[in-house]
Amino acid sequence: MYEMDMYRYRSLTTAFFRDAMGFLLLCDVTNEQSVVNLRNWMIQLQTHAYCDNPDIVLCANKVDLENHTVNMAEVKSFADSYGFVLCCGTRCCHLCRV
């Protein structure tokens, strides 16, 4: 679900959580609000996920652009605090070891 419409489509998003064993979270490193919204998504996942410990991969998007407003170390710290796998999509990423 597109994060800007998270609240508008909340009833639909909870339906998508049913029977899902894993999730892909995406954040935009050029938009700090995108990273802040990760915490809201985590509350939704913890509330509505089918299992207690679903597999979650956090993907940092737009890392190749120059105008980062989010520090990748902050994203890495967030991923580590929840035990996520972090992927930034670059082959030589020193943070996520992709």
What domains, with CATH codes, occur in the chain?
3-87 (3.40.50.300)
* Residue 1 contacts residue 13 (beta carbons within 8 Å): yes
Identity of residue 34: S
Each of the 98 residues of the chain gets a pLDDT tens digit; together they read: 445 455 565 566 666 777 777 888 889 989 999 888 898 888 888 887 777 778 888 888 888 888 888 888 888 888 888 888 888 766 555 545 43
Distance from C-alpha of 50 to C-alpha of 28, rounded to nearest angstrom: 26
Return the bridge partners of 24, or none.
Answer: 57
